[in-house]
Amino acid sequence: MSVAIVTGSAGLIGSEATNFFAQAGFDVVGIENDMRQEFFGAEASTLWNQKRLQNDLGNKYRHANFDIRDQVQVEKLFADLGKEIALVIHTAAQPSHDWAARDPHKDFTVNANGTLNLLEATRKSCPDAAFIFTSTNKVYGDTPNRLPLMELETRWEIDPAHKYTVGIDEEMSIDQTTHSLFGASKVAADILVQEYGRYFGMKTAAFRGGCLTGPNHSGTALHGFLAYLMRCTATGRPYTVFGYNGKQVRDNIHSADLISCFDHFFKNPRVGEVYNIGGGRFSNASMLEAIDICEKIAGRELNQTYQPANRIGDHIWWISDTSKFSRHYPDWEQKHDVPSILQQIYDNNYDRWMKESA
């Protein structure tokens, strides 16, 4: 039986991948040590999701509780499984701009060194496996903020005459920009994934995501925009909007739509690819627009405050141009937009949130 290794297997994208590929017939080995709780506190713990996977998937899922920075453990696991490994999906990360500045060493070693450990173990033990990496649009730093943007009533928007009106493509430079330390560590990992593909001929892809979201997200103040916003609206918890008059725009891709991308790549892999991937024009919202949707779903107003200072390296406007991926994989399609995503987040999590708030 083919094996899929998923890092960060109890996180949003990791758990979606684990479920999908286990149901597709793979034996899934999840590498997960709940560092999200260490980064962001108990409310961000993924332990609830790990238990759900173990209960739902039974012997189709094996949990490996160790840190991807542990080169010895990583290489042993890969060596033990060897060429049974057909797929590696690497989602484990330190994912926050703000947190990275608190501990740059830990941020870099998790994001960059951890990725190097996994790539090298793949090269040594299963070089024919497809290697999929969840990168980030933050590799472009704040370059998108130099685009010709216009302030509208509820959002910032790009000049419709600009070539990026359909979204930002992979040709945007990653140089001469402020990335945040998180963005810098993800750049290092992203380049490593490309290089192992190009230098060693491995089937690697870096998916540079916008906002990745879905009902299994353990959203928290420093990471998980839609999930945390919905939670705060539903429970009355205070929420702070940072900068840009609350009109900053993000595209949001449902975790299931992203896993569909991974499946298409796995079935017809390429070498050293890079894809901007997100909700694109199909699924995006400004902060103000997302708040309005949340309030309508929850039937109550968000307890919000406004902080004029924006976060360092934060984007004013980001919408992904996903046309490169669509050209390579024309059968892929998105199924979830922002309102449907927020409704799912609310429906799937409201009872748990209220118990935890009690």
Could you give the dihedral angle defined by the CA atoms of residues 227, 231, 234 and 237, in that order, rounded to the nearest 10 degrees?
A: -140
Confidence tier at 245 by pLDDT (50, 70, 90): very high
Backbone angles phi, psi at 124, to 5 degrees: -75, -40
For residue 321, give the 3-state DSSP assignment: coil
What CATH number is associated with residue 220?
Answer: 3.40.50.720
Confidence tier at 63 by pLDDT (50, 70, 90): very high
CB atoms within 10 A of CB 199: 10
DSSP string, 236-287: T--EEEESGGG--EEEEEEHHHHHHHHHHHHHS--SSEEEEES-GGGSEEEH
Q: pLDDT tens for residues 107-145?
A: 999 999 999 999 999 999 999 999 999 999 999 999 999
Confidence tier at 40 by pLDDT (50, 70, 90): confident
Q: What is the CA radius of gyration of the chain?
A: 19
**Contacts for 71 with CB less than 8 Å, ≥ 6 apart:** 117
Q: Mean of the pLDDT values across residues 229-247?
A: 95
pTM: 0.93
Higher-confidence position of 353 and 132: 132
- The residues that bridge with 304 in the sheet, in sequence order, are 239
328: containing domain? 3-357
What local confidence, expressed as pLDDT, does residue 73 receive? 98
Q: Mean of the pLDDT values across residues 248-256?
A: 95
Q: Mean of the pLDDT values across residues 334-343?
A: 97
**Contacts for 116 with CB less than 8 Å, ≥ 6 apart:** 189, 192
Where do we find the tokens 């994989």? Answer: 329
Q: Mean of the pLDDT values across residues 284-310?
A: 96
**Contacts for 309 with CB less than 8 Å, ≥ 6 apart:** 242, 243
Tally of structural domains, the chain = 1
d(CA 292, CA 232): 13
Confidence tier at 45 by pLDDT (50, 70, 90): confident
d(CA 268, CA 247): 39
Q: What percent of the chain has pLDDT over 70?
A: 97
What local confidence, expressed as pLDDT, does residue 1 receive? 67
Region of 322 on the Ramachandran plot (φ > 0 left; ψ -120 to 50 alpha; else beta): alpha
Q: pLDDT tens for residues 188-201?
A: 999 999 999 999 99
What local confidence, expressed as pLDDT, does residue 224 receive? 62
The mean pLDDT value of the chain amounts to 94
What local confidence, expressed as pLDDT, does residue 44 receive? 75
- The residues that bridge with 71 in the sheet, in sequence order, are none
DSSP string, 126-174: -TTSEEEEEEEGGGGTTGGGGS-EEE-SS-EEE-TTSGGGG-B-TTS--
Region of 200 on the Ramachandran plot (φ > 0 left; ψ -120 to 50 alpha; else beta): alpha
